[in-house]
Structure 1
């Protein structure tokens, strides 16, 4: 069936200590293939930035959802990611007949059929496109966050638990964008070292 819409779904930012987890869903247009799609982690920043507008312009549909730190702390990172995936697929217009999800788990409330594909971001072009939209969107958010919360190095490490980030966290304490439910942040708060 030529007009069957297959969405690729992926996320960026499950591991960081700060910032949102960003989920994207993309339905590619078979008539307008995009060359160079791959798992966003295997592409340079310049290549991701070059592909981003192409995906936005040439895809049949795309939707990007950011799950906030509050949602991550309330639901846990896994449930927040699953909720984001369902919201991203539901936000597609035209809608998807099937969603290909990167990973080994499917959200329970997907608005269409779903299939989990381990390593899908390197195997399925639509998942690759979703991984690029999610990563570029999240990186841009973290770079902007550096201006709001200077001193943490968000523009460099994007919230991941690098030695520099952990050092800044110990020196400055968590900011509003730190995930309170994540061990290094929770540990500092529990020790009463901060506040």
Structure 2
């Protein structure tokens, strides 16, 4: 399929139908990782033409993604990042941790947005925010795509720094996600303070299974990433 650049169609629609002046696109990264925080970026863009090649961060090479993030940080009108730590994820469950990270990002913006576009089909943010969910918003909405790239590059760099003190786990390349190096290090050395201890990967590690914390029932953790393309509504 040919590349289709994201547009401001949803942002314009929200402004026209609700009178919202400031619309923030929000996307997260790190939900499926075993280590490191979940990170959310909130980005506000002007309605001008976005940088060339902007799309979902997962569709970009690391080199292109890093270069684009540098451009985007200057191009967006404003942006902010929020995190929920591994311990907060263990204590709250992923949905509540996402809400916490997103709230931190939105409240860190210089101006409070009038409306929020969330990537995906689940509104994990809720009141008091005015939210529209957009499936594959990181490919179709300029503000969400920008948030996607900025969040991914920021979190990857954050987790890569953990390799300085935990060099065996491959954090500099796997960003805390499962990989052969990561799995081997866990089997030999066990989880670090940066790992999520309520996650099921510990069940497969006989030496470290006793460290697992009670897990939360969380519908979002079971959500398929293969979404199909419909807009949510306010």
Scaled by the length of structure 2, what TM-score is found?
A: 0.76
Inter-CA distance 24–86: structure 2 relative to 1 (3 Å threshold): same
SS of match in other structure, 1:66: strand
SS of match in other structure, 2:164: helix
**Is the counterpart of residue 112 in structure 1 residue 129 in structure 2?**
yes
Match of 1:190 in 2: 209
SS of match in other structure, 1:11: strand
CA contact (8 A) 1:105 1:116 kept: yes
Inter-CA distance 12–98: structure 2 relative to 1 (3 Å threshold): same
Matches of 1:147 and 1:186 in 2, distance apart?
27
Matches of 2:134 and 2:92 in 1, distance apart?
24
CA deviations over 1:74-127 (Å, ceiling 9, x no partner): 111222112212221222222211110001111344553111111111110110
SS of match in other structure, 1:116: strand
SS of match in other structure, 2:194: coil
CA contact (8 A) 1:9 1:126 kept: yes
**Is the counterpart of residue 58 in structure 1 residue 75 in structure 2?**
yes
Could you tell me which runs of 5 or more consecutive residues in structure 2 were left unpaired when the two chains were aligned. Answer: 1-14, 212-234
SS of match in other structure, 1:151: helix
Match of 2:182 in 1: 165
Deviates more, 1:167-176 or 1:108-117: 108-117
CA contact (8 A) 2:156 2:175 kept: yes
Inter-CA distance 191–107: structure 2 relative to 1 (3 Å threshold): closer
Match of 1:150 in 2: 167
Deviates more, 1:154-163 or 1:27-36: 27-36
CA contact (8 A) 1:86 1:109 kept: no
CA contact (8 A) 1:90 1:110 kept: no
Matches of 2:99 and 2:125 in 1, distance apart?
8
Matches of 2:56 and 2:49 in 1, distance apart?
19
SS of match in other structure, 1:177: coil
From 56, 67, 74, the equivalent of 2:91 is 74
Matches of 2:172 and 2:124 in 1, distance apart?
31
RMSD: 1.9
CA contact (8 A) 2:50 2:142 kept: no
Could you tell me which runs of 5 or more consecutive residues in structure 1 were left unpaired when the two chains were aligned. Answer: none
CA contact (8 A) 1:18 1:179 kept: yes
CA contact (8 A) 2:102 2:125 kept: no
